[in-house]
Amino acid sequence: MTFKAIVLGTGSAKPTLYRHHAAHVLNVHEQFYLVDCGEGTQLRLLECGINPLRLNGAFISHLHGDHVYGLFPLLSTMGLMGRKTPFAVYAPAPFGEVIGWHYRYFDTNLPFEVVYHEVDTRKHALLYENSVLEVWSLPLRHRMPAAGYLFREKVPPLNVRKEAIDRYRLGIAQITAAKRGEDVVLEEGTVVPNGELTYRPYEPRAYAYCSDTLYSAKVARLVQGVDLLYHEATFATAEKAMARETGHSTAAQAAKCAAQAGAGRLLIGHFSSRYKEMDVLLEEARAVFPATEIAQELAVYDIPVKRTEP
Amino acid sequence: MTFKAIVLGTGSAKPTLYRHHAAHVLNVHEQFYLVDCGEGTQLRLLECGINPLRLNGAFISHLHGDHVYGLFPLLSTMGLMGRKTPFAVYAPAPFGEVIGWHYRYFDTNLPFEVVYHEVDTRKHALLYENSVLEVWSLPLRHRMPAAGYLFREKVPPLNVRKEAIDRYRLGIAQITAAKRGEDVVLEEGTVVPNGELTYRPYEPRAYAYCSDTLYSAKVARLVQGVDLLYHEATFATAEKAMARETGHSTAAQAAKCAAQAGAGRLLIGHFSSRYKEMDVLLEEARAVFPATEIAQELAVYDIPVKRTEP
């Protein structure tokens, strides 16, 4: 029951040798999702051993090149690899047009379908779900329409306690009813409350990706209780005015969001190329939210399963 | 009087961790020209310490993504760096349209002009010249219109021999006449033939880039005497049929081109990702043209100045 984020790039618009353009991979129960896709993403995938054919799709935050230029070469490579499975792309408008333009000149014979889903950047909407996961959009505040993404594990189905089955000699029909959340009536007429029979095997986990954005109190509310918050921290507090002007956050503002959200951990990234050492950014963030880490490229951030009982 | 090629990528369509997408930089008398621009080119430039603002422009061979996807992020980064100098792009049609589409969605405020020059891939035409260099197109044979590029140093101006100036006590007017290639009449009426007074300081050098292409006898003629020939060698002879089908060359065919052209040295590249070791390709090429080398990424291939005299 994997739930982990792999950081592929931590740089901002101007890449450096040590900080590549934005891209994360989410692995949720061994299903893989790409979040943003800056130039060189396919090479970062190679470096961390993730076969692009395993990706279900990509969630693109906004249409600045450093978040999306890597998608076209990735599509081409998946074509060469013979991908047949459709690839979903969630992105703000007018990315559907951009894909159409791309097909006009490149990848004219792509052997798989790219299924575009337009993301309304003003809404907190459910974009995707499967049996274990929901992905929600987060309205960000950037200088162009931008969305963050919240990956939230669904509440898992009830498990029936082994000892309850034994004690009450439950039959198949009774076990099924208990799994549905119902109380169970025993043969002699006693009603056993569902709470005594069942438990949730684990607490749902959540990860949020918030880049590029100014600090947003609304986002902090929407990601309440998130286990791992990735929040951009392009600048230090000394460059606060520039952060505001360019639609970015300082490390302290990222930390403020994490603190208000009651996040488990905060990862900061999307650093301006002006910072060679990350100490100032880390210190400024930790002063507000101690559980902050500098996002490291190719590092895996695991959110361990939180088993409740038994 | 630098004349050197820096190889940024030696892979073909599917990149590997060790072979990036196509891109070369030509440094001719400290003027820099990009040839092809696959994904990640801006990072390779960083790695070899070439400031993108020094690039005069790019010569794009054809519109397959592995030769051009890196151009858009490079334009964006040069914009962020505050480039003001126009950037020339030579590429086959319809690349002008592609640039137009790019502006529609990205780089809407680029602070410099991208000057597009359409390359007719059927012609061997002079595309660009300055005081020391000419760049010519080479008609390639690929499965879409494709051009190679021949960088040829101009014949340098005549130098006047120091000892001739002393011996004949030449004045400024006589020296200038000699530099123009004229014979000189001395005061007493003697005519000194120009050949006795002057010499060419060096032999013009040339580099050709031929990728992607089938073997072409015409190209071999057009690059006659080239000092350094870069020729694609996507496949080994065992995959000759596949080479033909996909519009590519084998290493032996690249070598045949070099031999027929009387090239000084042959660099082979654009290798299929199927080859982990290059021994077979190198052996097959050297059997036909011994002065063959495997192009190495980030290596600098210098063509030393060929001084004639004195």
Q: Report the residue from B14, B42, B63 with minimal CB separation from A105.
A: B63
Pick from B67, B53, B55, B68: nearest CA to B27: B55
Active-site residue, A66 included: yes
Instruction: Tell me if B66 and A72 make a contact (CB, 8 A cut-off).
Output: no
Instruction: Tell me if B42 and A66 make a contact (CB, 8 A cut-off).
Output: no
Which residue of B lies nearest to A68 if distances are taken between CA atoms? B73
Instruction: Tell me if B70 and A15 make a contact (CB, 8 A cut-off).
Output: no
Residue A281's φ and ψ, nearest 5 degrees, are -60, -45
**Chain A residues near residue B72 by CB distance under 8 angstroms:** 65, 69
Q: Report the residue from A39, A42, A46 with minimal CB separation from B73.
A: A39
* Model pTM score: 0.94
Active site residues of B: 66
Instruction: Tell me if B72 and A70 make a contact (CB, 8 A cut-off).
Output: no
The ipTM estimated for the assembled molecules is: 0.93
**Chain B residues near residue A101 by CB distance under 8 angstroms:** 101, 104-105
Q: What is the mean pLDDT of each run of 10 residues along chain B (310 residues)?
A: 97 94 98 98 97 98 98 98 98 97 94 98 98 98 98 96 95 95 93 95 96 98 98 98 98 98 98 95 98 98 86
pLDDT, position B20:
97
Mutate to test the interface with B, among A16, A20, A39, A63 (most CBs of B within 10 A): A39
Which residue of A lies nearest to B43 if distances are taken between CA atoms? A17
Instruction: Tell me if A65 and B17 make a contact (CB, 8 A cut-off).
Output: no
What residues of chain A have any CB closer than 8 angstroms to a CB in chain B?
A: 13-17, 20-21, 39-40, 42-43, 46-47, 63-66, 69-70, 72-73, 76-77, 80-81, 94, 97-98, 101, 104-107
Structure tokens at A23: 């891209």
Q: DSSP letters of chain A?
A: --EEEEEEE-B-SS--SS-PPPEEEEEETTEEEEE---TTHHHHHHHTT--GGGEEEEE---S-GGGTTTHHHHHHHHHHTT--S-EEEEE-TTHHHHHHHHHHHS-TT-SS-EEEEE--TT---EEEE-SSEEEEEEE--SSS--EEEEEEEPPPPPEEPHHHHHHHT--HHHHHHHHTT--EE-TTSPEEPHHHHEE-SEE--EEEEE-S----HHHHHHTTT-SEEEEE--B-GGGHHHHHHHT--BHHHHHHHHHHHT-SEEEEE-B-TT-S--HHHHHHHHHH-SSEEE--TT-EEE---EE---
- Predicted confidence (pLDDT) at residue A282 exceeds the cutoff of 90: yes
pLDDT, position B310:
63
pLDDT, position A310:
62
pLDDT, averaged across chain A: 96
Q: Report the residue from B39, B63, B107 with minimal CB separation from A73.
A: B39
**Chain B residues near residue A14 by CB distance under 8 angstroms:** 77, 80-81
How distant is the Cα of A276 from the closest Cα of chain B, in angstroms? 15
Query: pLDDT, tens digit, for every residue of A83-108?
Result: 999 999 999 999 999 999 999 999 98
Instruction: Tell me if B81 and A14 make a contact (CB, 8 A cut-off).
Output: yes
Instruction: Tell me if A13 and B80 make a contact (CB, 8 A cut-off).
Output: yes
Cβ burial of B237 (10 Å; 0-12, 13-18, 19+) is middle
Mean pLDDT computed over A37-53: 97
